Amino acid sequence: MVTFYVGSRASALARQQVRTFLAPLREAYPDVRFVHRPLLEGGDKDRTSRLAAVSVSSGGSAFSTNQEAALLAGAVDLVVHSLKDLPTANPDGLVLLPPPTREDVRDALCGGTLADLPEGATVGTGAARRIAQLLAVRPDLTPVPIRGNVPPRLGRTKARGGPLDSVILAAAGLRRLGLDDAIGELLPLESFPPSAGQGALGIQVREDNTAIREMLTDTGCADTWAQVRAERALLAELHGGCSVPVGTWATTPGAGVLTLLGQVTTLDGSRQITARATGTVTDPECLGRQVAAELLNQGAEEILARIRPAARVGS
Ligand X SMILES: NCc1[nH]cc(CCC(=O)O)c1CC(=O)O
Q: Which is nearer to ligand X, 84 or 156 (CB)?
A: 84
Q: φ and ψ at 214, to 5 degrees?
A: -65, -40
Of 136, 313, 145, 309, residue with least CA distance to 239:
309
Choice among 77, 85, 104, 107 that is catalytic: 85
Q: Which of 9, 153, 156, 176 is catalytic?
A: 153
196 or 215, CB closer to ligand X? 196
Q: Which is nearer to ligand X, 265 or 315 (CB)?
A: 315
Q: What's the farthest any 2 CA atoms get from each other in the chain?
A: 62
Annotate 150-170 with three-state secondary structure. HHHHHCCEHHHCCCECEEEEE
Least Cα distance to 130 among 149, 113, 108, 105 occurs for 108
- Residue 220 or 283: which CB sits closer to ligand X? 220
Residue type present at position 94? L
At 281, is the secondary structure helix, strand, or coil?
coil
Q: How far is the CB of 31 from ligand X (least distance, A)?
A: 31
Question: 262: helix, coil or strand?
Answer: strand
Per the residue annotation, which of 15, 19, 138, 147 is the catalytic one?
147
Locate all alpha helices (DSSP H) within the chain, ordered by sequence.
12-28, 65-72, 128-137, 150-154, 171-176, 210-215, 222-237, 284-297, 300-307
Tell me the helix, strand and coil percentages in the chain, rounded to 5: 30, 25, 45
CB of 134 to ligand X, least distance (A): 14
Asked about 153 being catalytic, the answer comes back as: yes
Distance CA 300, CA 284 (A): 21
In whole angstroms, what is the distance from residue 151 CA to residue 227 CA? 28
Chain positions contacting ligand X, by CB under 6 A: 82, 84-85, 150, 169-170, 172-173, 198-199, 314-315
Active-site choice (9, 37, 106, 129): 129
Q: Which is nearer to ligand X, 215 or 311 (CB)?
A: 311
Minimum distance from CB of 103 to ligand X (Å)? 6
Give the closest residue to 219 by CA, choosing from 81, 79, 78, 100.
100
Q: Which is nearer to ligand X, 262 or 279 (CB)?
A: 262
Residue nearest to ligand X (CB): 173
Q: What are phi and psi of 26, to 5 degrees?
A: -65, -35
CA angle at 119 for the pair 187 and 261, rounded to the nearest 5°: 25
Least distance in angstroms from the C-beta of 29 to ligand X: 25
Examine the residue annotation and report whether 147 is marked as an active-site residue of this protein: yes
242 belongs to the catalytic site: yes
Nearer to ligand X, 11 or 266 (CB): 11
Q: How far is the CB of 81 from ligand X (least distance, A)?
A: 9
Minimum CB separation of residue 105 from ligand X in Å reads 8
Q: Which of 6, 17, 26 is nearest to 103 (CA)?
A: 17
85 assigned to active site: yes
Q: Which residues are catalytic, by number?
A: 84-85, 129-130, 147, 153, 242
